[in-house]
Structure 1
Amino acid sequence: MAIISGQNLPLESVMAQEKETQSIKQIERLLKLEGSHPKLVGTNGEEIVIPDSVYQVLRQVVNAMALGQAISIVPQEQELTTQQAAEFLNVSRPYLIKLLEQGEIPYVTVGTHRRVRFMDLRRYKEQRDAKRHQFLQQLVEISEEAGLYEYDE
């Protein structure tokens, strides 16, 4: 499962209402306390310690919501429509179709429709972002060597 925060989310997203901001910030503060063992307390008083894996997800969700970001939780195996996939990558649907047809991103066909697994889409996005960062770094190095860019430390 992946937690996605940001503005262009492909699936149903949740965003904190303005009236909830104060409570979310309080929850965030409590979750950041060292050595705390958060619990859920039912209306009948029953207490359940939150498992570490759930605690880590909860911290990420609350942190993003405290920053005013919308949140979607997507199972890794979730299949997205081409429109949802394009929105996730922040590209046009025709451009996404081109990537699919070139084999850049795997997909399956359901009837006459293409579906893209979220896991594959996320992997492509991470690789694309890493390449962009690498090219930008090379551009900075070339500019520095040419004396066009000076980096002040």
Structure 2
Amino acid sequence: MDFRFVTRALSTRAATQLGAAVHGRTGTDVDVHIAGSAVPLDDTARDAVLELLTQLATVKAVAIGTVNELLTTSQAAEVLGVSDTYVRKLADAGDLPIEMRGTHRRFRLEDLLRQRDRFR
């Protein structure tokens, strides 16, 4: 994965303030302003912004980057938060769809996200 932006954790004070603002919101009441201009967000973008703010409020470092549509076994394991061996086991059991590229397994990001939701 290509992490283009990594930020350190916020201070505890800033994280507490951000957490209160994010968790105190209701429905779709999220406003994004860039250089004084309001920018409307669709549901997907709004969810992504809220997730970013939620993660920043946890007092942990956050990385933002691009993810290819087809991932290696190691990348799939990172997305799922499991070992490479477990990913191969899921794939071999037919519980996780794969695409073969020669002798290499490749995993679709959408399949991994669906599987990750099942883990939670």
TM tier, smaller: 0.5 to 0.7
Aligned position for 1:41 = 34
Q: Which runs of 5+ in 1 are unaligned?
A: 1-9, 131-153
Query: Residue 40 of structure 2: which of 41, 44, 50 is its match?
Result: 50
- The count of corresponding residues between Structure 1 and Structure 2 is 115
Deviations 1:18-50, CA, capped at 9 Å, x for gaps: 4x43556555555545696624232xx5x1333
Identity among equivalent pairs (%): 25
2:71 corresponds to which of 69, 80, 87? 80
Following the alignment from structure 2 to structure 1, what is the Cα–Cα distance between the partners of residues 19 and 65? Answer: 18
1:82 touches 1:114 (CA, 8 Å); kept in 2?
Answer: yes
Q: Mark the runs of 5 or more structure 2 residues left unpaired by the alignment.
A: none
Which of the two has higher C-alpha Rg? 1
Does structure 2 retain, via aligned residues, the 8 Å contact 1:11–1:84?
Answer: no
Q: Which is strand-richer, 1 or 2?
A: 2
What is the root-mean-square deviation of aligned Cα atoms in Å?
3.6
Larger mean Cα displacement after TM superposition, 31-40 or 48-57? 31-40
TM-fit CA distance, 1:104: 1.4
